[in-house]
Structure 1
């Protein structure tokens, strides 16, 4: 008697997707998204977008933030320190004035308390937005300004400000500190600066 054995084929998670480093946003992209969120009056998404750019945090750390992590009493802090989950090392970041304004507005609109998660989930049993939900939100942002969503993701938000700072200053050490990397080599690979510099040099020597 023959026995039929069902063989399950598990498709890889990245089948049909482009993998690798996600592109950072350009200044015009940042402002395009920010203006759209302001016009649509989406206080949570505006606060999330601004803080993601300023903080340069990984998705897991950003989603786990509580109101008290970015505030002093009823005021949003100008600077704060977060313990990174992945490395268990502290990282400090500045909260710019536009971000402080959007955060204060979001906290007020949502009625959040000091101990509440900054970006709570609407799903029962989930205290805050998941990294998957955050990824969908980022894809929506970039899609609405006409960018290819396969080239952008949550790491786009982490890479954007350091990339802009590096292009302006060429100071890798400063970017390393901002990202909380232990090795400078990690920062070089993360930013892909060697490739960027080579392309920049090639453009300057075109005849």
Structure 2
């Protein structure tokens, strides 16, 4: 069962750090994050939806979780990082991933109906935006083509824009 917990921690941390959609988290290959047997600090993945590459950093905590998981699972380059239930060379499905996220959410006492796989994608992006106010940086990190998509995605309202404007003296 250690492998399962190591996998869950690696998947959870990677989902937050990468800001990837669930289908992209599931489709990660070992070489995407650990091409030479050790986890890299920055990775680039081509997103399925947009076919555009997106770059992301892996925090020390995430790198350690991935390395622990790779050791426990014996995963090698060429394999999917997170295998499906049958371990037959297929990646974890978005449905399996969603079930895992629902279990994680429930295990910490939150309502799984209120949070899902996209909550993980949105978490770090929202924190970056709140701390920096840099909408363009968040747009790049999420791989959005239009800034309007990022505005909608983050739920930025007129009040948020006014609060930022009030902090700027001319």
Q: Tell me, yes or no, whether TM beats 0.5.
A: yes
SS at structure 1 position matched to 2:55: strand
SS at structure 1 position matched to 2:54: strand
What is the CA distance between 1:197 and its match in structure 2?
2.1
2:72 — aligned with what? Answer: 109
What is the CA distance between 1:124 and its match in structure 2?
5.8
1:97 — aligned with what? Answer: 60
Q: What is the Cα-based RMSD across aligned positions, in Å?
A: 2.1
Q: Do residues 149 (structure 1) and 85 (structure 2) align?
A: no
Q: Distance in 2 between matches of 1:130 and 1:70?
A: 19
1:48 — aligned with what? Answer: 11
What is the CA distance between 1:72 and its match in structure 2?
3.2
- CA deviation map 1:67-101 (0-9, x unaligned): 00112312111001101111111100001111000
SS at structure 2 position matched to 1:76: coil
Q: Do residues 189 (structure 1) and 152 (structure 2) align?
A: yes
Q: Distance in 2 between matches of 1:114 and 1:192?
A: 38
- Correspondence list, 1:112-127, <5 A: 112-123=75-86, 125=88, 127=90
Residues 87/151 of structure 1: CA separation in 2 closer, same or farther (3 Å cut): same
1:170 — aligned with what? Answer: 133
Q: Which structure 2 residue ranges, 5 or more long, are not aligned? A: 165-170
Is the CA contact 2:47–2:53 (under 8 Å) kept in the aligned structure 1?
A: yes
What is the CA distance between 1:123 and its match in structure 2?
1.9
1:159 — aligned with what? Answer: 122
SS at structure 2 position matched to 1:139: helix
What is the CA distance between 1:122 and its match in structure 2?
2.5
Q: Could you state the TM-score of these two structures normalised by the residue count of structure 2?
A: 0.89
Residues 105/148 of structure 1: CA separation in 2 closer, same or farther (3 Å cut): same
Q: Could you state the TM-score of these two structures normalised by the residue count of structure 1?
A: 0.73
Residues 195/150 of structure 1: CA separation in 2 closer, same or farther (3 Å cut): farther
Is the CA contact 2:79–2:89 (under 8 Å) kept in the aligned structure 1?
A: no
Larger Rg: 1
Q: Distance in 2 between matches of 1:122 and 1:183?
A: 36
